[in-house]
Copies of this chain bind each other. A is one copy, B any other.
Amino acid sequence: MNIKEIAEIVGVSSATVSRVINNSGSVKEETRQKVLAAIEKYNYVPSQVARSLSTNDTSIIGVIIPDIENPFFSGVIRGISEVAEQNKYNIMFFGTNETPSIEHSYLQIALAERLKGVIITPISENDKHTRDMLIRLKQAGVPVVLVDRDISDVEIDGVFIDNKAGAYQGVNALIDEGHRKIGIIKGPSRSKPGRDRFLGYLKAMEDGELMVRDEYIAKGNFKIDMAYERTKELLSLDDPPTAIFTSNNFTTIGCLKALTELDLTIGKDISVIGFDEIQILKDIDYKLSVIERDAILQGREAMNILLARLEETERTDKYIKKILPHRIILRGSEKIRTTNNI
């Protein structure tokens, strides 16, 4: 069933049917009713794809995210989708699984699908291909908003937090507790948050006049398994750290898993502060200190920026890097009670 068939049935032209569908132009009330009746009767649903082609406009925005299983990102998507729903936009979802080639092909698809806008957490800060594609999108008039991970050398809107400051506060809290041997499970250094959080660690160490020891710096990839292994390695050092800073929620979980296995209690045998709140642990009063931020808000804000871009008539050159708040929540895991280790 298409518009022409409906038109024929009612005995009008397709232009008239189009008018009643879109509430545009003027249509006699009687005609309108007849058309609506036919649409209803035949369950006619206008093709959005034909419409898109004709108007050269879609209502679909692309959301490109590394890992939907990470609660932070599902929160972001939740925020995006709330605002999108309220504004009649639909979401095309892409999960890159931290794989650059997949990210690239999704960006290509965004171009091909003529998406209205793109919200992306890019895998890497310096991926040339990704950067080029994002520029092409912008040039094609498709606004792009970064979430959580910034990209260098390019003028793109985004919403982030101050990762360096957050990590600094976390590590600093450990130092305040008297720790001098502080390890870190890093995130991937190709990502801005991974690097910035590490920089925050370094800065805090420096300000605390503590030596940064290479063997205390564990390379991670924001994944549970890797953090688990690295933690075990850190603790099997001859002179292991007394405190560990973990770079994101999954890293924290992997770390806690290892500690649990080694029968070490946080806040007692060893100290831990992690980036990202872990909701369930809070609910069961598991005393983990964290750097917390609002994922849903971050998603909402990203979508709001996108909406603003879509509404602006003339392209403003000023681009927005919005920094959302974070806060440190100390629950005791930054402390330590063993006397022989510190």
Contacts and interface: CB of A to CB of B under 8 A. Distances in A.
Interface of A: 43, 45-50, 52-53, 58, 60, 63, 68-69, 71, 74-75, 77-78, 81-82, 85, 90-95, 97, 102, 108-109, 111-114, 136, 224, 253-254, 256-257, 260-261, 278-281, 283-286
Nearest to A224: B283
Contact of A92 (B50, B60, B254): B60
A68 B81 contact: yes
A75 B94 CA distance: 14
A93 B81 contact: yes
The number of times this chain is found in the oligomer is 2
A248 to B, nearest CB: 13
Contacts of A95: 77-78, 81, 85
Nearest to A295: B69
A34 to B, nearest CB: 22
A49 B113 contact: yes
Question: What are the 5 closest A-B residue pairs judged by CB atoms, nearest first?
Answer: A93-B93, A257-B283, A48-B112, A45-B111, A260-B285
A60 B58 CA distance: 14
Contacts of A280: 253, 256, 278, 280-281
Contacts of A68: 68, 74, 77-78, 81
6 contacts: A46-B112, A47-B114, A91-B92, A224-B283, A253-B283, A254-B283
Contact of A136 (B43, B81, B253, B281): B43
Contacts of A254: 283
A75 B69 contact: yes
Contacts of A97: 82
Contacts of A90: 92, 94, 109, 113
Q: Which of A52, A256, A284, A286 has the most CB of B within 10 A?
A: A284
A82 to B, nearest CB: 8
A46 to B, nearest CB: 7
